[in-house]
Structure 1
Amino acid sequence: MPHSYDYRPEGGLGPRAWTAAVLCLLAAAAGCGAPARPADGGAAPSSAAATVVEEGGQRPAVVPIVRPGRAGQEEDGAVAAGARREEAVRSRLEAVRGWGLEALPLSAPRPPQARPELTPVQGVSLHEGLPPVVARVPTDDQVVFLTVDDGVEKDPQFARMAGALGVPFSAFLADRMARSDYAYFRELAAQGHAVHNHTLTHPDLKLLGYEQQRQEICGQQDQLERELGTRPRLFRPPYGEYDDTTLRAAGSCGIEAVPLWNEEAFPDHMEYRYADQRLHPGDIILTHFRGTDLWNGTMPQMLREVLDTVTAQGFALARLEDYL
């Protein structure tokens, strides 16, 4: 059922900032600057036209050049591509304004050709022969990662907002909480969001033995393969609670890494584990599929809080799977 917080035409950008953003991004989308002018200051010649002087010294007439064959097709294709880029920029700016963001989110850099090698540094815990536990991905890129847990709330406005803004995030689903509407998560996966393992019933795994832990993790691997067609590489233990038995069980189920987190996001604030109360490159942000019954706000409000905070601190959201 849709929430009261919805797409709205009035945004967080002021008129001057909005105008500047539109002009800047439309110029970038065009992919070219102003045409060069001749030394005498006259009008610049057009690459797609020739001039013919009419009788009586009248003003030159512009005659379009018709380019034959492949040259014409390539020129038409370039024009169409430029129009598509311009339309994409317009759509994104409208989405930023409509969802009330304070500024245009920064774009993530091109993903690394290979995922960063994990070493025993801050935020990375290595266990010989077992999946690594990672709360902060080792990278110098100004990127952080958004992860959303459990699957209780299936908010269509959140899916719509993330899609409109091109926001990447990773979902970690527990079957008990997600099973009422796996179609919602199939839709998120179709948008490009990765879906990973968060156990079948969301227990504190440290209270269970090896076989029970393995049933929780492997069972959800099987369930996600049935529902979504993939077996995840990543697993997050409920409550962040795990032990070596958890890692052994996870590894036996095909899990390659266990991402935890350094920040948690809510509709009206962010909580940090660092003393400086700031984001750091490679940080993993936790939030949940929650609604107004458990939160003081909605999932779109939470996403706006995350985007405004991340952008204000000079970071971009990137795909966790490209780095881990």
Structure 2
Amino acid sequence: MLHGRRSTAGPRGGRAGVAAAALLVAALGTACGSSQDSGAPAPAKSGKGAEAPGAAGAAGTYAEKQKAARLAVIAAAKKWKLDKPPLVAPPAPEEKPEITTRDGFEVDGHDELPPVFTTVPTEDKVVFLTIDDGAEKDPEFLKMMQELKIPYTAFVSDYLIRDDYPYFKAMQAAGVTLNNHTLNHRYMPALSYEKQREEICGQQDTIRKTFGKRPTLFRPPYGNYNEDTLRAAKSCGIKAVPLWNAEGFPNRMDYREWDRDLHPGDIILTHFRGREDWKGTMPDMIRHVMKTVTDKGYAVARLEDYL
């Protein structure tokens, strides 16, 4: 079975296709907690209700650091011209949700293959930001995301990033996980199993050699895949295949669902693109996506915290 609908543009320009027939930094870390969800821990007790030495001071220092960090994000939101500062994501769940393949996205024998999903099952009012390919290397974007403490997950193709590995190493150093989007961003179902495996395993090896760690997440180009894609991905060490339920641009949001809205756990796709492909920059895109997300009462959480 073939999954996905091809993009209206190639690997370099335009947006990735949203799958119809069938139809995923690490993150920079969530913004520091608000007074409701990130207060100081209760002081330790010693003896008959007495506080342990230094407990009150440590608690006060922790609360002060949290407050200062939040104020820094609020100031960054003004600097980067966001209408509102990003909302604070809840703590990562201690028990990870069970990830299963979305109905209609299955291939034959899918029970033994990595799950393909567009939304993470959670009641937390969070969404997940993922960014694909690697064509645009905007230094202002890196600075913006660090200062705003917005987590995101990257899916990179080597042919687009190899001219500037240091850009993505800086991203990784800030906490972003670099995941597999194949070596050359080819339409996978048109390739043999062996060629698909070369694209996926080759990118696994390249990311490990260049950035030090093999990914466990894979996103097929354009969101298109077949059984061979998932079998090849599994053989290369891939554990899950996150797709998306919404897509962000500098001037709009596209949605997969009939209600054209966000839902708890939705994965948002966007791209490393700039004015050459969009009517705007990557910071413009982030401003629009964050306005939508925040206005709807959602926080951006770290995808890997839920997987």
What interval of TM-score do these two structures reach, taking the shorter chain for normalisation?
0.7 to 0.9
- Does the 8 A contact of 1:218 with 1:253 survive in 2? yes
Partner of residue 212, structure 1 = 195
CA distance in 2, matches of 1:110, 1:123: 32
Partner of residue 222, structure 2 = 239
Q: Per the alignment, in what secondary structure is the counterpart of residue 285 of structure 1?
A: strand
Q: CA deviation at 1:152?
A: 0.5
Partner of residue 265, structure 1 = 248
Counterparts of 1:1-324 in structure 2 under 5 Å?
71=53, 77-119=58-100, 122=103, 125=106, 127-324=110-307
CA distance in 2, matches of 1:172, 1:241: 15
CA distance in 2, matches of 1:30, 1:89: 12
Q: CA deviation at 1:120?
A: 5.3
CA distance in 2, matches of 1:237, 1:254: 15
| Matched pairs, number | 261
- Does the 8 A contact of 1:123 with 1:136 survive in 2? no
Q: CA deviation at 1:268?
A: 1.1
Give the superposed CA RMSD.
2.2
- Does the 8 A contact of 2:133 with 2:155 survive in 1? yes
Once the two structures are superposed, what CA deviation does each residue of 1:97-138 show, in whole Å capped at 9, x if it has no partner?
Answer: 111111122111111113211345558747121111111111
Which structure is richer in relative contact order (CA contacts within 8 A, separation 6 or more)? 2
CA distance in 2, matches of 1:29, 1:217: 40
Taking structure 1 as the reference length, the TM-score comes to 0.75
Specify the structure having the higher radius of gyration (Cα): 1
Higher normalized helix content (fraction of residues): 1
| Residue identity (%) | 51
Instruction: Kindly provide the amino acid, as one letter, of the partner of residue 164 in structure 1.
Output: E
Q: Per the alignment, in what secondary structure is the counterpart of residue 246 of structure 1?
A: helix
Q: Per the alignment, in what secondary structure is the counterpart of residue 277 of structure 2?
A: coil
Moved more, 268-277 or 225-234: 268-277
Once the two structures are superposed, what CA deviation does each residue of 1:212-257 show, in whole Å capped at 9, x if it has no partner?
Answer: 0000000000000011101000000001110000000000000001
Provide closer, same or farther for how the CA distance between residues 258 and 27 of structure 1 changes in structure 2, counting only shifts above 3 A.
closer
Moved more, 178-187 or 75-84: 75-84
Provide closer, same or farther for how the CA distance between residues 285 and 95 of structure 1 changes in structure 2, counting only shifts above 3 A.
same
Q: Per the alignment, in what secondary structure is the counterpart of residue 270 of structure 2?
A: strand
Q: Per the alignment, in what secondary structure is the counterpart of residue 128 of structure 1?
A: helix
Taking structure 2 as the reference length, the TM-score comes to 0.79
Provide closer, same or farther for how the CA distance between residues 307 and 226 of structure 1 changes in structure 2, counting only shifts above 3 A.
same
Provide closer, same or farther for how the CA distance between residues 193 and 165 of structure 1 changes in structure 2, counting only shifts above 3 A.
same
Q: CA deviation at 1:286?
A: 0.6
- Does the 8 A contact of 1:146 with 1:168 survive in 2? yes
Provide closer, same or farther for how the CA distance between residues 119 and 89 of structure 1 changes in structure 2, counting only shifts above 3 A.
closer
Moved over 6 A (4+): 25-31
Q: CA deviation at 1:84?
A: 2.6
Partner of residue 49, structure 1 = none
CA distance in 2, matches of 1:26, 1:108: 13
Gaps of 5+ in 1: 1-24, 32-69
Q: CA deviation at 1:295?
A: 0.7
